Amino acid sequence: MSLFSFGTPLDIDIVLQDTDERPTVDVKLDKNRREKAPLYLDGETVKGAVTIRPKDGKRLEHTGIKVQFVGTIEMFFDRGTHHEFLSLQTELASPGELQHPVTLPFAFKNVEKQYESYHGINVKLRYFMRVTVSRRMADVVREKDLWVYSYRQPPESNSVIKMDVGIEDCLHIEFEYSKSKYHLKDVIVGRIYFLLVRLKIRHMELSIIRRETTGVPPNQYNESETLVRFEIMDGSPSRGETIPIRLFLGGFDLTPTFRDVNKKFSTRYYLSLVLIDEDARRYFKQSEIVLYRQAPENNDLALQQAKETQQS
């Protein structure tokens, strides 16, 4: 913003190419605000055009115009500190004057976008275009966000999760999930087998918990949120009874599992089996699962990216 007026002396529009045909992602900015961002993949070219319009037809001197493609990790508990892991720059215009609208094309070819976009509790991984019109008094800056997905091939090995839970002489159950790694549209299939029941169980539920870890010790923050609560039994079971589990993941707001992204944050997922007895006491057992984003079958670019990721 200009030091001597309430507004900027020009308008800047950033238009990305093929936005009408490109898929978009509904991004949650905060509790009451969402916006749609165009979707890009790793290795995909990002191109478009910048239109600059001086206001009221006034002549405007500048010392250069540039566009940047930026990737940052922002920690909410350390506001003002942005860790840039990607910064590409192109000069759009050398120093000069503007009086009439001008449109300047740009292209960042085959950009490596090694991380997936993420907006969590304490951290945000963000990709955006930044246009800067440099001036002697105050620069004019505009930004436009885009979203990045990273696809993976299905894992070659995917072991069954099988565990026992017991309270001596009171409760002994065995639970099993058909696998430990799931794509984001997958179905969790399993069963719970009651070997011993001497507690009055009121009901049982299955939860999906996301645990986000940010920063490094001693300034490390851990936040957990329950994304799904799914009741799988109401009433007390009998010995020898089997309860089936079938939970569809496609309807929930899930991300892939992220491990030590740029040494700044991790996001892990857990299945939590919870039993509540008639005295409201809770008994639970958690198992970590791995989530990954599977390429859609009709997207050639996504499938190629997934194969290259698997090979690397």
Share of the chain above pLDDT 90, in %: 53
Instruction: Clarify whether residues 139 and 25 are in a common domain.
Output: yes
> Cα–Cα distance between 306 and 66 in angstroms, integer?
33
297/186: higher pLDDT: 186
Domain membership of residue 300 (yes or no) is no
Pairing of strands 123-134, 140-149: antiparallel
Q: Is 249 within 8 Å of 233 (Cβ atoms)?
A: no
Domain membership of residue 175 (yes or no) is yes
Domain membership of residue 53 (yes or no) is yes
The yes-or-no verdict on residue 15 having pLDDT over 60 is yes
Q: For 56-105, write each residue's pLDDT tens digit.
A: 878 888 999 999 999 999 988 777 678 999 999 999 999 999 888 999 99
CATH number of the domain enclosing 74: 2.60.40.640
Domain membership of residue 307 (yes or no) is no
Average pLDDT of the chain to the nearest whole number: 87
Instruction: Clarify whether residues 284 and 177 are in a common domain.
Output: yes
The whole-number pLDDT of residue 80 equals 64
Q: For 277-291, write each residue's pLDDT tens digit.
A: 888 888 788 999 999
The whole-number pLDDT of residue 109 equals 96
Instruction: Clarify whether residues 41 and 133 are in a common domain.
Output: yes
Mean pLDDT to the nearest integer, 294-301: 74
Domain membership of residue 61 (yes or no) is yes
The whole-number pLDDT of residue 1 equals 40
Q: For 225-275, write each residue's pLDDT tens digit.
A: 999 998 888 877 778 888 899 999 998 989 999 999 999 999 999 999 888
Instruction: Clarify whether residues 29 and 131 are in a common domain.
Output: yes
The whole-number pLDDT of residue 27 equals 83
Instruction: Clarify whether residues 206 and 127 are in a common domain.
Output: no
Instruction: Clarify whether residues 139 and 15 are in a common domain.
Output: yes
Domain membership of residue 309 (yes or no) is no
Instruction: Clarify whether residues 143 and 179 are in a common domain.
Output: no
Q: Domain end: 148, 177, 208, which one?
A: 148
User: Which domain, by its residues, includes 60?
Assistant: 10-148
Spatial CB neighbours of 148, under 8 Å, sequence gap ≥ 6:
39, 40, 41, 42, 113, 115, 116, 117, 127
Domain membership of residue 155 (yes or no) is no
Mean pLDDT to the nearest integer, 177-195: 92
